[in-house]
Structure 1
Amino acid sequence: MSSSTPILTAGPEEAPFLAGLVAAAFHDLDAARWQIGDDELRRAAFPGYFQGYVAHTLAHGVVQVTEDRSAAALWLVEDGGPQPEPPLPEPHVAAMLGPWAERVHLFDRYLHAALPTPGRPFEHLAILAVLPGRQGKGLGTALLEHRLAHLDETGVPAYLEASGANTRKIYLNHGFVDHGEPIRFPDGPAMYPMWREPAAR
């Protein structure tokens, strides 16, 4: 599947759709449940929350999708230096999230604290999302391998946070190694920062 799946670059006009795709793909993840423990509120809030991620990546990186738009990868181009602290949720977003607003912001802060500062450019796989009905068909692998091949050609390292132990194993098989300690959320799950040097050309 991965070698024959066409990979395309998404444009700004697709941002609302892509945010919905990511929201659907991430709805049941342990980290998502930790952020917003109310299923209905999470379903309502996530598209808007992820639209910010999509818009930021479109402006500062690249968003790649499978041809059928059932999977997407958001790659941020980082300069290797310190990054600004994540902003607080907008007041209207905080009002909608209610008691969960603090956790949503805390989640972003924990991921920010784990970001590497190697002093050289790298690409950050911020999100790799596959629609629930299309998972397990190699689409995520196709997106991953497509971009990693480009990074190998250009000599650029990559970074990501694996959402759990199982996805960590997948990334280990693609040349990533653990980068520092796991990100452990208070009374919640762990995520795994990982780094990959480009393969020798």
Structure 2
Amino acid sequence: MVTTRTDLTVRQATVDDVPALLPVFAEAFSTGTVAEWAVPEPADRLEVFTSYFRFMLALGLHYGRVDTTDDLSGVAIWYRRDETPSPHPDHLYGLEEATGRYAPKFLLLDAMFAARHPRLPHAYLAYIGVAPAVQGRGVGSALLAHAHEALDAENLPAYLEASNPRNCDLYTQHGYEAGPPMQPTSSGPPFWPMWRGQLNGGVRSPFPPPNPYYRRPR
């Protein structure tokens, strides 16, 4: 059961919030198996993810919507996608510039996500980050609940990629269904595509029927 905090206000972020939100993303994403795979050198991780999310925040503010909490402890980047989404033309160049010598792995992830992305109208949760000091205290759930309230009013589905089983469990509590996992390489970290359907029927899950022999690792 999800407990939604009532003491947090979620609002749309502006460019003035970037200095505070950038370290939230960078610190949240620069640890864990994905960070270790993408940036094998530990000393480089925080710098690379800071540069990466500086670019991603700029994209989100320009092309999508960035939500944050009133205390700036959490942040989420959303996009609206139609049946055939097309990234803006400078996306790949900017990604290479932001990640430097680690760009090949970031580009590989980008290509994998694009290949598996549902070709159905939906809202796409590209990134959600919570400051490490307050993780597990309902900040992420507050961001999700705020976005879902608006999506449910439109009867619009949502999609995301989860990077670990713990996150899968959180998203499942918020109404998402996990699809078969995907990996950028045979030794790369798994990601789970997750779909939150419409309240009033309509578009069904884009995922194939589950494999009864597959067990998600914990």
Higher relative contact order (CA 8 A, sep 6+): 1
Please name the residue that 1:184 is paired with: 183
Label 1:159 to 1:91 Cα distance change in 2 as closer, same or farther (>3 A): closer
Match of 1:33 among 36, 48, 53: 36
Q: 1:93 to 1:152 in 2, by over 3 A?
A: closer
Q: Which residue of the partner structure matches residue 12 of structure 1?
A: 15
Aligned length: 195
Matches within 5 A, 1:83-122: 83-84=86-87, 87-88=92-93, 93=98, 97-98=100-101, 100-118=102-120, 120=121, 122=122
Contact 2:55 2:95 survives alignment (8 Å):
no
Judging changes above 3 Å, is the alpha-carbon distance between structure 1 residues 46 and 178 closer, same or farther for their aligned structure 2 residues? same
1:174–1:34: structure 2 CA closer, same or farther, 3 Å change rule? same
| Partner Cα separation in structure 1 for residue 193 and residue 29 of structure 2 | 18
Closer, same or farther in 2 for the Cα pair 1:3/1:192, shift >3 Å?
same
Gapped runs of 5+ residues in structure 1? none
| Aligned match of 1:55 | 58
Aligned equivalents of 2:46, 2:5: Cα separation in 1 = 33
Q: Give the deviation of 1:14 after TM superposition.
A: 2.2
- The CA deviation string for residues 73-129 of structure 1, in whole angstroms up to 9 with x for no partner, is 1111112314349514566546xx33x2211221221222221111x3x11011110
Q: What is the TM-score when the length of structure 1 is the normalising length?
A: 0.88
Query: Which residue pairs with 2:197 in the alignment?
Result: 197
Paired residues of 2:95 and 2:103 also in contact (CA < 8 A)? no
Superposed structure 1 runs of 4+ greater than 4 Å apart: 88-94
Alpha-carbon displacement from aligned partner over 1:137-187 (angstroms, at most 9, x marks no partner): 1000111111111100111110000111121121112111124x3121321
Q: CA deviation at 1:192?
A: 0.4
Contact 1:177 1:196 in 2 (8 A): yes
Provide the residue aligned with 1:44 in structure 2: 47
Aligned counterparts of 2:95 and 2:84: Cα–Cα separation in 1: 26
Query: Alignment identity in percent?
Result: 31
In 1, the alpha carbon distance for the partners of 2:25 and 2:159 equals 19
CA distance in 2, matches of 1:2, 1:90: 35
Indicate how the Cα distance of structure 1 residues 92 and 148 shifts in structure 2: closer, same or farther if over 3 A, else same: closer
